[in-house]
Amino acid sequence: MEEYQHEEEPKSWWKTAISFILVLLVIAMLVVYFFYPFDTIDFGIKSAGNTNFSLMNNSVDANGANEQFYDNMRYPDSTISYRIDDCPLQKKNDMEGALEILSNKTLLEFQPVIIDEEISITCDSKNRVEGSLFIAGEGGPTNITRAGEFNVISHGMILLIKESKCERPNVAIHELLHALGFEHSLNSNNIMYNISKCDQIIGDDTIELINELYTLPRYPDLAIENVSAVMNGKFLDTNISIRNNGFKESGATNIMIYADDKLVKEVELSSLGIGHGSIILLENVLVLNLNVKELKFVINSDFDELDKRNNEIVLSV
């Protein structure tokens, strides 16, 4: 009878064990290579450039004075709602005449509403005196939000005190322009001069500025204000600041982060009100790209905006 010898089996087992250990070492080295932060690359901080808005002479009139209380004041839309409350017939007619005159001369339209008006108009029959002058009325914005290049008015008020003795309702026009953000004029022939006269006129520069301000449609305008980023090996830490500089609440959208044009992270961004902002902080975002040279941050909105060119910032080494 033949006998079988198995002297090679121990040697084969050790070969398998050694091969297994080598595979584990290779895997461990790959894990260390891909996940351990060997070096740090600081991409720095980058701020958005100027917007596409270039408005008339920074709201300065022909005399070099500020034409508005703040630069670029406007309501969100060229159609502005109003409500006249507790006014006698003459003052009510004066106010409606002022609204009609301004709507005929500009892009503005005025819409009467019962509630939630943007301009609240009231009247008072009691005389008010300041120095030696009777106060004919009061008016101005009561709620203003800074949004990029604009100061957006969400509410204004008008108080008519004295009835106009002029053929044209100059007092009502004067206070209406105050509610639209316009300051007193230094020109005594201008209807915005602080002492009322019947021969005063609405300045052409006022009409031109209103039309320029309201040429832009009621859109949101999401903008990446600034971004900072640091790569720790394969991991990205970033800080992203976003603001809505438009005239309408934005819809929800996504922020896309690319490393050398390869998508590495997508972050949800909730809707933002006018002038509202959001800061997104991300840490240890895995980036498998080798030797990242460029990071791109994009607001991926699917709705109309005033300017989509400020929806992207690129950081380079």
Q: How many percent of the chain have pLDDT more than 70?
A: 79
Amino acid at 169: P
Smallest Cα–Cα separation from 55: which of 184, 178, 182, 149? 149
Mean pLDDT, residues 81-92: 94
Q: Is the pLDDT of residue 132 over 50?
A: no
| Cα distance between residue 244 and residue 249, in whole Å | 8
Q: Which CATH number fits domain 38-51+219-316: 1.10.3720.10, 2.60.40.10, 2.40.50.140, 1.20.59.20?
A: 2.60.40.10
pLDDT computed for residue 65 by the predictor: 66
Q: Which residue has the higher pLDDT, 165 or 127?
A: 165
Mean pLDDT, residues 121-148: 76
pLDDT computed for residue 54 by the predictor: 60
**Alpha helix (H) ranges present in the chain?**
9-35, 89-105, 170-179, 204-213
pLDDT computed for residue 42 by the predictor: 86
Q: Is the pLDDT of residue 303 over 90?
A: yes
Provide the residue ranges of all domains of the chain, joining segments of one domain with +.
Answer: 8-32, 38-51+219-316, 56-213
pLDDT computed for residue 133 by the predictor: 45
**Architecture of the domain delimited by 56-213:** 3-Layer(aba) Sandwich (3.40)
Q: Is the pLDDT of residue 300 over 90?
A: yes
Query: Would the CA dihedral through 170, 174, 175, 177 be positive or negative?
Result: positive
**Phi–psi pair at 116, nearest 5 degrees:** 55, 40
Q: Is the pLDDT of residue 128 over 70?
A: no
Q: Is the pLDDT of residue 216 over 70?
A: yes
3-class SS at 239?
A: strand
* Exposed e or buried b per residue across 293-317, where buried means at least 16 C-beta atoms within 10 angstroms of its C-beta: eebbbbbebeeebbbeebbebebee
pLDDT in tens, 100-120: 999 999 999 999 999 999 999
Q: Is the pLDDT of residue 162 over 60?
A: yes
Q: Residue 82 has which token pair?
A: 């109003």
In the structure, what pLDDT confidence band is assigned to residue 209 with cuts at 50, 70 and 90?
A: very high
| Cα distance between residue 133 and residue 228, in whole Å | 57
pLDDT computed for residue 129 by the predictor: 47
Q: Is the pLDDT of residue 57 over 90?
A: no
Q: Mean pLDDT, the chain, as a whole number?
A: 86
Q: Is the pLDDT of residue 213 over 70?
A: yes
3-class SS at 163?
A: coil
Amino acid at 106: T
Q: Which residue has the higher pLDDT, 23 or 238?
A: 238
Report how far apart, in Å, the C-alpha atoms of 307 and of each of 16, 128, 247 are: 64, 47, 12
Tracing tokens 């958005």 back to the chain, one arrives at 48
Report how far apart, in Å, the C-alpha atoms of 200 and of each of 70, 189, 225 are: 24, 5, 44
pLDDT in tens, 268-290: 999 999 999 999 999 999 998 87
Phi-psi region of 260 (alpha: psi -120 to 50; beta: other; left: phi over 0): left
pLDDT in tens, 164-208: 788 999 999 999 999 999 999 999 999 999 888 899 999 999 999
Beta-sheet pairing, 262-269 with 222-232: unpaired
pLDDT computed for residue 163 by the predictor: 76
Mean pLDDT, residues 44-57: 66
